[in-house]
Amino acid sequence: MTSTVHRTMGQQSGRRSWAEPWKIKMVEPIKMIDRAGREAAMREAGYNTFLLRSEDVYIDLLTDSGTSAMSDRQWAGLMLGDEAYAGSRNFYRLEAAVQQYYGYKYVVPTHQGRGAEHLISQALIKAGDTVPGNMYFTTTRLHQELAGGTFVDVIIDEAHDPHNEHPFKGNIDLDKLEALIKQVGADRIPYISLAGTVNMAGGQPVSMANVKALRELCDRFGIRIYLDATRMVENAFFIQEREVGYADKPVAAILKEFCSYTDGAWMSAKKDSLVNIGGWLAMNHDDLFEKARNLVVIYEGLHTYGGMAGRDMEALAIGIEESVQDDYIRARIGQVRYLGELLTDWGIPIVQPVGGHAIFLDAKEIYAHISQDRFPAQTLAAQLYLDSGIRAMERGVVSAGRDPKTGEHRYPKLELVRLTIPRRVYTQAHMDVVAEAVKAVYDERQRVKGLDMVYEPAYLRFFQARFEPIS
Ligand SMILES: *Cc1c(COP(=O)(O)O)cnc(C)c1O
């Protein structure tokens, strides 16, 4: 896909732009603190954008997780919270929404995505098992490892190349998977960990053809498929846009068809579903349901709230329905693409094609003079904040962590900075400001030398590690 194709979204004849299918009813003031203030804040945060105070941030692109603007209907839904400990009416609304739009039989609520990852990992993985998947995600892999499993990446090779314009870079390489199954044995593979879209590859989608073929392969070996459905609505939009036979199908129908090839899913509702907190685990098989429903009471709460308030479940049920509307999802991805096109036009290296929820700056290429053990992506995120108070996130060697066996850094092929776009929060003018800031940092790239890590926590180090600039 070229950027000209992107720009023609809704501009077939003459200039015809798309616009957001909503208007703004309430605003939250933001401001940019001055350069000296930003320098002090960055020092205090140990050059880790996770450790900044949000009030020191001007445009916050750290994550699209829990940062969405809820609709007036969702806010109204908060007033309908049934805060009963057991059997809240809002749970049954949520259960019905998951059944209707994702198509699974059973639903176990959790406080957020990692709560669901914990439950499925503990329920299904035994020590020594192998869990194949389409590129790792930080919390997903950690829960699989803590349960005694080993994650093995079976994504197609194109996913590791930021310049490869494959339309479905999230696809599983079925030959790699089959070879792995034959090597370790199907009985040592509790399930396939399939994510749509693939966050760490740049928000890249999985095709319908790929999940169908995966289903056939797994049926031959008797292996189940569980879906990380966190951004599966965005994935469905890409199928509608790019895959033959889906152009006229609604995103909601595509979502449901895709899920029908899997045995269940876990969800961070803080992403696609337009809420600030929430998650769930859903499945078709009785055995997993029984285990998960039992485990949830230990770790999250009773199986009719799983760590959420009744009002949160109501907002989530409404958010699910809003998230699958075609005009909404088109504007959501259109805004991400707008930012991507500006940067592409200005020659700034980003992961192509532009994915669903974020722009990924190629820090390896931008800071080609900084070696990976000096954390180019961490450095780039820090520079962006210093330039203009924009907060982004490292997705490179810091996020990849250390190999649990050797203790060495894992050096991922992709060394990226993620500019994650919250849903329904910022305007096109904010995107312009962001693009100009990235350009300014890019133009100054030769003056930067990288960072030293001076504090490293044991788990998920990217959240709390501290750094100092190399002088
Ligand atoms: C955010 C995320 C998770 C974890 O969910 P939380 O709600 O943050 O706990 C899992 N998988 C993917 C792909 C995610 O983006």
The amino acid at 217: L
Q: Which atom of ligand 1 is nearest to the CA of 114?
A: 9
Residue 300 Cβ inside 6 Å of ligand 1? The answer reads no
Q: Which of the four CATH numbers 3.90.1150.10, 3.30.410.10, 3.30.40.10, 3.30.450.20 does domain 3-60+326-469 have?
A: 3.90.1150.10
pLDDT at res. 2: 37
Residue 158 Cβ inside 6 Å of ligand 1? The answer reads no
Residue 265 Cβ inside 6 Å of ligand 1? The answer reads no
Q: Is 271 a catalytic residue?
A: yes
Q: Which atom of ligand 1 is nearest to the CA of 66?
A: 7
pLDDT at res. 8: 47
pLDDT at res. 12: 56
Query: 72-323: what fold?
Result: Aspartate Aminotransferase; domain 2 (3.40.640)
CA of residue 356 to ligand 1 center, whole Å: 15
Q: Which of 395, 424, 445, 461 is catalytic?
A: 395
Q: Is 462 a catalytic residue?
A: yes
Structural domain boundaries in the chain: 3-60+326-469, 72-323
Q: Is 137 a catalytic residue?
A: yes
pLDDT at res. 404: 86
pLDDT at res. 18: 86
Same fold: 3-60+326-469 with 72-323: no
CA of residue 276 to ligand 1 center, whole Å: 13
Instruction: Count the neighbouring beta carbons within 10 Å of the beta carbon of residue 216.
Output: 10
Q: Is 85 a catalytic residue?
A: yes
Q: Is 258 a catalytic residue?
A: no
**What residues in the chain have per-residue pLDDT under 70?**
1-13
Choice from 63, 119, 199 to test ligand 1 binding pocket (greatest atom count within 8 A of CB) = 199
Q: Which of 138, 140, 197, 344 is catalytic?
A: 138
pLDDT at res. 281: 98
Q: Which of 47, 102, 137, 426 is catalytic?
A: 137
Sheet holding 130-133, edge to edge: 106-110, 279-283, 264-268, 224-228, 191-195, 130-133, 150-153
> What pTM was computed for the model?
0.93
Q: Which of 173, 228, 312, 362 is catalytic?
A: 228
- 169-325-209-269 Cα dihedral, nearest 10 degrees: 60
